[in-house]
């Protein structure tokens, strides 16, 4: 089941050090990269079917090609603001194989004709940021980066201030520019982000870390794994009521239940599975009877009423109170809303307070009706997808576990 592409060097001692990294094929893709044109590199990534692994799942090659029509300074921004509850895969790359990320950055910068990359790291990831910076310094010393490199690339690490909303790419760029991390209004046409007015590519850590394997082995080699629409592999996090929580890289399309039982070690204490939040806290919950038929790919989870997201599975056993679980999530959304949009600012606050009534068993049918109404008012009426995500979380719990909410009323 496991296929190690990104995670190949994770178990090697001192894999984050450049001497160990070089002995284990890091930077080995660059020789073939520089023999091709930037356009050819982008075409290989497009043919591979690589999709963004930070939640959106958009075609990486198509996203890269958006920068072709722009001249002048271009930027690559790597989104390492891993703040999604239930997701902890990017920090494993930063701490165990940072040179893989740097190699992917060099190749990506070459493809989009950029000479500078910013890595925006979650504010709480001080330890991982320090490891990454040491690796970058090593790459400069060995002339993989900087003015003496075959292709000039400079990398700057920027730590955020702990705001979940800065995982949204336009809010991230606003933060990089020194502004408050507010998401931007989206343009009427598909276009790249702009950093100080210059075209910018924003990709997640794991997306960029997947690039060296593809460029070294070819698009067909990557497509050997996964499904036709979701090719390749992904680092899936699993946490919650399982025996062996952790991060395991598997091809897209693997059975969710098989993953939980074999790699997650099954449900703790021999209890029954009740539900799974499949792609991080912002994806709709799935009950056990749907989990049985779910697989870890974008299309299947979409068809089953949820989303792959960041691949962060949170497993809930039969003893979990779904009312309290939703309260826990809504408290997070209430705290992390940036407050820019009224439906989000007020909706997350109001729904959080209503859940207090359900937890205290003082709720009425009217409270349940209001909760549904708030969910509707948050969906599709804000600048970014924060509020719609919170709305879909509410809807998922009420759709599959309404009986537990009605019990609180009774």
Interval 42-68: pLDDT, tens: 999 999 999 999 998 999 999 999 999
User: Which residues of the chain fall short of a pLDDT of 50?
Assistant: none
Residue 126: is it exposed, middle or buried by C-beta count within 10 angstroms (0-12/13-18/19+)?
A: exposed
Residue 186: what pLDDT?
86
CATH 1.20.1440.230 segments of the chain:
322-409
3-state SS track over the chain: CCCCCCCCCCCCCCCCCHHHHHHCCCCCCHHHHCCCCHHHHHHHHHHHCCECCCCCCCEHHHHHHCCCCCCCCCEEEEEECCCCCCCCCHHHHHHHCHHHHHHHHHHHHHHHCCCEEEEEECCCCHHHHHHHHHHHHHHHHCCCCCCCCCCCCEEEEEECCCCHHHHCHHHHHHHHCCCCCCCCCCCCCCCCEEECCEEEEEEEHHHHHCHHHHHHHCHHHHHCCECCCCECEEEEEEEECECCCEEEEEECCCEHHHHHHHHCCCEHHHCCEEEEEECECCCCCEEHHHHCCCECCHHHHHHCCCCCCCCEEEEEECCCCHHHHHHHHHHHHHHHCCCCCHHHHHHHHHHHHHHHHHHHCCCCHHHHHHHHHHHHHHCCCCCCCHHHHHHHHHHHHHHHHHHHHHHHHC
The CA distances from residue 117 to 28, 105, 120, 161, 203, in Å, are: 20, 7, 10, 19, 11
CATH level 3 topology of 233-317: Ubiquitin-like (UB roll) (3.10.20)
Q: Is 246 exposed, middle or buried (0-12, 13-18, 19+ CB in 10 A)?
A: middle
Tokens of 3: 């296929």
Q: Where in the chain is the domain with CATH 3.40.50.11540?
A: 18-223
* CB 134, CB 172: distance < 8 Å: no
User: In this structure, what token pair is assigned to residue 93?
Assistant: 């790359």
pLDDT at residue 189, as a whole number? 82
Rounded distance between C-alpha atoms, residue 333 and residue 350, angstroms: 11
DSSP β-bridge partners for residue 311: none
Burial class (CB in 10 A: 0-12, 13-18, 19+), 357: middle
Q: Is 19 exposed, middle or buried (0-12, 13-18, 19+ CB in 10 A)?
A: exposed
From 79, 71, 67, select the one nearest 193 (Cα to Cα).
67
The predicted pLDDT at position 410 comes to 75
Task: Please give the CATH architecture assigned to the domain spanning 18-223.
Answer: 3-Layer(aba) Sandwich (3.40)
Q: Write down the pLDDT at residue 213.
A: 98
What CATH number belongs to 322-409?
1.20.1440.230
- List b or e across 85-105, with b for residues whose CB sees 16 or more CB atoms inside 10 angstroms: bbbbbbbbbbbbbbbbbbbbb
CB within 8 A of 240, min separation 6: which ones? 86, 313, 314, 315, 316, 317
Query: Taking the C-alpha atoms of 371, 374, 380 and 383 in order, what is their torsion angle to the nearest 10 degrees?
Result: -120
pLDDT of residue 276: 98
């Amino acid at each position: 089941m496991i296929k190690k592409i990104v995670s190949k060097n994770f178990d090697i001692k001192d894999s984050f050090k450049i001497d160990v990294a070089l002995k284990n094929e890091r930077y080995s893709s660059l020789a073939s990269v520089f023999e091709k044109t930037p356009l050819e590199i982008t075409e290989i990534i497009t043919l591979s079917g690589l999709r963004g692994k930070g939640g959106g799942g958009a075609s990486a090659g198509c996203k890269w090609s958006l920068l072709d029509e722009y001249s002048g300074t271009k930027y690559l921004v790597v989104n390492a603001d891993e703040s999604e509850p239930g997701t902890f895969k990017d920090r494993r790359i930063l701490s165990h194989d940072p040179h893989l990320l740097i190699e992917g950055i060099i190749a990506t910068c070459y493809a989009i004709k950029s000479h500078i990359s910013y890595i925006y790291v979650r504010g709480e990831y001080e330890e991982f940021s320090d490891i990454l910076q040491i690796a970058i310094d090593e790459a400069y010393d060995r002339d993989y980066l900087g003015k003496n490199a075959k292709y000039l690339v400079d990398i700057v690490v920027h730590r955020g201030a702990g705001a979940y909303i800065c995982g949204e790419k336009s809010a991230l760029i606003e933060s990089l520019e020194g502004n408050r991390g507010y998401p931007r209004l989206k343009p009427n046409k598909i276009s790249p982000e702009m950093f100080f007015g210059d075209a910018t590519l924003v990709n997640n850590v794991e997306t960029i870390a997947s690039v060296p394997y593809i460029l070294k082995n070819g698009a067909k080699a990557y497509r050997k794994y996964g499904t036709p629409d979701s090719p390749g592999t992904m680092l899936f996090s699993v946490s919650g009521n399982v025996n062996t929580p952790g991060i395991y890289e598997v091809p897209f399309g693997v059975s969710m239940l098989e993953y939980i039982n074999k790699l997650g070690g099954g449900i703790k204490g021999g209890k029954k599975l009740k539900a799974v939040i499949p792609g991080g806290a912002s994806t709709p919950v799935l009950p056990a009877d749907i989990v049985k038929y779910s697989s870890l790919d974008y299309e299947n989870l979409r068809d089953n009423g949820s989303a792959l997201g960041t691949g962060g599975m949170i497993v809930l056993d039969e003893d979990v109170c779904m009312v309290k679980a939703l309260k826990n999530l809504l408290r997070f959304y209430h705290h992390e809303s940036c407050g820019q949009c009224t439906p989000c600012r007020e909706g997350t606050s109001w729904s959080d307070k209503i859940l207090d009534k359900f937890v205290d068993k003082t709720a009425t049918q009217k409270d349940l009706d209001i909760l549904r109404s708030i969910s509707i008012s948050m969906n599709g009426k804000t600048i970014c997808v924060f509020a719609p995500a919170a709305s879909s979380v509410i809807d998922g719990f009420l759709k599959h576990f309404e009986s537990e909410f009605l019990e609180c009323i009774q």
